[in-house]
A and B are shown apart, each in its own frame.
Chain A
Amino acid sequence: KQEVTQIPAALSVPEGENLVLNCSFTDSAIYNLQWFRQDPGKGLTSLLLIQSSQREQTSGRLNASLDKSSGRSTLYIAASQPGDSATYLCAVRGGGSQGNLIFGKGTKLSVKP
């Protein structure tokens, strides 16, 4: 059974720092991996989608990498801002006929001014 783990569970950094959020998964047979952002009391906003054949995806200050063979992904946030404060969720889409999205429990990020 696929399991997704995110470390750390919470992170507090001063504004301007570059930071890395980690995601690991137990079954490397995935089709893609998706990073989401969730603000308190809100829904999920998709940040980046990486296909299994890709190594990384970039959007603005965000860069996500994928090492499928080792079961790891990282989300790199450059020059963090207070507006980046949110919970970041990693999810993998597995194989088989279902191919449903399986989530980690998230990393709660706080960026202090």
Chain B
Amino acid sequence: NAGVTQTPKFQVLKTGQSMTLQCAQDMNHNSMYWYRQDPGMGLRLIYYSASEGTTDKGEVPNGYNVSRLNKREFSLRLESAAPSQTSVYFCASSEYSTGPYYGYTFGSGTRLTVV
């Protein structure tokens, strides 16, 4: 009954380092999403994958890349971390992107600090 699992839960990076945030869901959902949450800004969409094999940019994609590894897994990569990427990152999944009647399920988040 795991739902959406994110790893790691916490991470501290130095400016310029790279890392990959992992996300996996066990609900057989087609669509997966990456959001970031910042104080005063709310949650903003970084990238999404409507179905296996497709990815698209959201509202704030600069500085990030994604990979939809298979139906279960959707990773977010920071190639050269910057302090502006200090945030809490949430992964989510939903049944269909183009079938809009389903809700989203969120993971517990990754708290990333870039120093």
Contacts and interface: CB of A to CB of B under 8 A. Distances in A.
20 contacts: A32-B103, A41-B111, A42-B109, A43-B108, A46-B104, A49-B103, A51-B101, A91-B43, A97-B97, A98-B56, A98-B97, A99-B97, A99-B100, A100-B33, A100-B58, A101-B33, A103-B43, A103-B44, A105-B42, A106-B42
B100 A93 contact: yes
Interface string B9-48: 0000000000000000000000001000000111111001
Nearest to B3: A43
Interface of A: 31-32, 34, 36, 41-46, 49, 51, 89, 91, 93, 95, 97-101, 103-106
B29 to A, nearest CB: 13
A105 B40 contact: yes
B109 A99 contact: no
B43 A89 contact: yes
Contacts of A97: 97-98
A49 B92 CA distance: 15
